[in-house]
Structure 1
């Protein structure tokens, strides 16, 4: 199915009633499609969204009332990003020859025929929210009407169909969203990194990696890869980009031609300058990325370089890149400084819910008291603990799978003090932080980088980070 000249009377089923499902149903209804929403879940915000849609004439079916297969006459199924390809309803749609799109694909096809805002797209296993919100800050510093949308903040449909059009969109794409996208052609795209994640959803690491590489497909001007992650370069080589599209690398080391990187604490551009063989443009300094006296971690610098490369591909000046990065503050729970007590800094990286994200955090600081643990989801922590060991002042462990971390610490850091917090009640984090404070020395960083999911003790990683920040405030 290609996008219709009019959506009027087109029968569409929307699967899921989260933010993206609601946005899809609302957009389709406003174009007079015949919309049915099916949702496995109910209650709370979902029920409120259902009531709004039903008032507008959308049919909403929950649980057992929802059909197992697409109703007769369905011409399109729009799925929420979290619904896996193995879902029986989606399989039945595919078997019946009914197109299955994600909200991102729907947004791309609903763009205005004339003057649509270009998309600058970002994906990666880790860091994509930081990079895309950095990009938003840079674009706004350049005087552009821009917003971060997609897998962060504003649903992409809302951004595309906003009554006051944007000049350009900074679009974060998850692997789920990329799986359900087919015809995107971004102005510029970026793949930050690739490491095993969401294997249960995609079925294999090979498939997850392949889907991440789709961010490069049909890129028009610049496809940006991580020069320190060979997988991202290979996926770019495998992609079918628009003729003339440039490959641009980013690195926290010295940049080669057609790269951005770091030279003597300066973020340098050797890609978007007239004579890139013999000169470079200064984009910002490491000091510009320093917050509350805490120097930026290498992965934070890498995210800044990726965002800068995307902005430069769109013609943003070096001065605007600098101003946007200076003004930027990390998103909550992503290497976020939450306070200083004496000469000890407290950093919340609760979003480090896997070992690769935690690896980036623990290797960014010289001396840390590491707070870790939760639901490891079967992850192997040996490499992580081995890398952390030389930097550890101490470790404080919490959560269901803390014993696995304790055993690895015993093997790789036998002289490092380890405190085991068995409590799982609401006051447990205060106990964790007090223990960390007692072990920290002046100049240390107390780092919450759990390497694990949070749902054994908290509603989500945000609640875990909030509890950490509140506990730190309680020390002051």
Structure 2
């Protein structure tokens, strides 16, 4: 049985490794689409505050038709007869997932699954993805982008490492205008099909744990804008090496005077020279450092990255100003 690449999963046999928020969302929605799903996880300690919630979710999914295997050895052996393994981020290094790779069983993370579950039926335009990754700050940037898009009158959703589980977001019956996707390193492993409208990698510094090399996947197949911090040469290299959609541009962010195709700071103003038609000769004001409420380099950089992602999604400089102001006072 081939793995489905749409919304008819009838007869597809799936093992979901892990039963956290991503694993639950994957199991729930694959059942809804007709797949035969077994979820595997190691039990939590009895005094873990999440145990009662997980037991309740396991009972619900069992009623819906899933098989739930909660056992100390649940992730040690790959069952026979599977078409797909969906791995939660915390289960990437388990024997079950390793055996799937060895036997040629496809392994998808929640990001790959979510991308393939988008509704691409005739006449329907799935919500564009605005992706942000890095060792720190990616969730803060995602929340800033959300505020800017709200100021633009859009209906965005934040998903991934913060906000909604990504599979849940793409399966919402009321489509969003945009998905702002914050991704930790493990979530970017096994990503092959994702093609975001715009993406940013804040840095290439190693995270405390995870798979930092996977951050390069954030820039692959970008459609419009690869946003990078100009001071980080390693991140610039990721952009240069990325296989992007023809016409996609590299958009740099700097704390100094921006060149053409960049966002930066001029005196006490945050400005952009990447999206306005007259960018070769002028800059558009976004907001002031006073309005931002800080001159902290990290905070200013994150605001500029969020602005670049939002502008790529159709926001205006006025939307950036209002969104950043709203985020400050939230």
TM-score by length of 1: 0.65
Verify: 1:56 aligned to 2:64, yes or no.
yes
2:287 and 2:117 map into 1 onto residues whose CA distance is 37
Determine if contact 2:75/2:95 at 8 Å carries over to the other structure: no
Ranked by relative contact order (alpha carbons within 8 Å, sequence separation 6 or more), the top structure is 2
Determine if contact 1:81/1:180 at 8 Å carries over to the other structure: no
Larger radius of gyration: 1
Distance 1:166 1:100, change over 3 A: same
For residues 250-281 of structure 1, what are the alpha-carbon distances to aligned partners after superposition, in whole Å with 9 as ceiling and x for unaligned?
Answer: 01221111000111111100111112121000
Partner of 2:108: 101
Partner of 1:228: 231
Partner of 2:48: none
Alignment of 1:146-295 (within 5 A): 146-198=156-208, 201-202=210-211, 208=212, 210-290=213-293, 295=294
Alpha-carbon distance, 1:44 to partner: 2.7
Verify: 1:121 aligned to 2:122, yes or no.
no
1:82 and 1:64 map into 2 onto residues whose CA distance is 15
Q: Alpha carbon RMSD of aligned pairs, Å?
A: 1.6
Partner of 2:303: 304
The SS at the match of 2:195 is: coil
Determine if contact 2:252/2:263 at 8 Å carries over to the other structure: yes
The SS at the match of 1:148 is: strand
Unpaired runs of 5+ in structure 2? 45-50
Alpha-carbon distance, 1:21 to partner: 0.5
Verify: 1:112 aligned to 2:125, yes or no.
no
Partner of 1:91: 98
For residues 1-21 of structure 1, what are the alpha-carbon distances to aligned partners after superposition, in whole Å with 9 as ceiling and x for unaligned?
Answer: 653452012110001111110
TM-score by length of 2: 0.93
2:275 and 2:232 map into 1 onto residues whose CA distance is 21
Distance 1:306 1:215, change over 3 A: same
Partner of 2:82: 74
Alignment of 1:318-467 (within 5 A): 318-329=317-328
Alignment of 1:132-143 (within 5 A): 132-143=142-153
Partner of 1:45: 53
The SS at the match of 1:91 is: helix
For residues 335-386 of structure 1, what are the alpha-carbon distances to aligned partners after superposition, in whole Å with 9 as ceiling and x for unaligned?
Answer: xxxxxxxxxxxxxxxxxxxxxxxxxxxxxxxxxxxxxxxxxxxxxxxxxxxx
1:255 and 1:330 map into 2 onto residues whose CA distance is 28
Alpha-carbon distance, 1:69 to partner: 2.6
2:153 and 2:34 map into 1 onto residues whose CA distance is 36
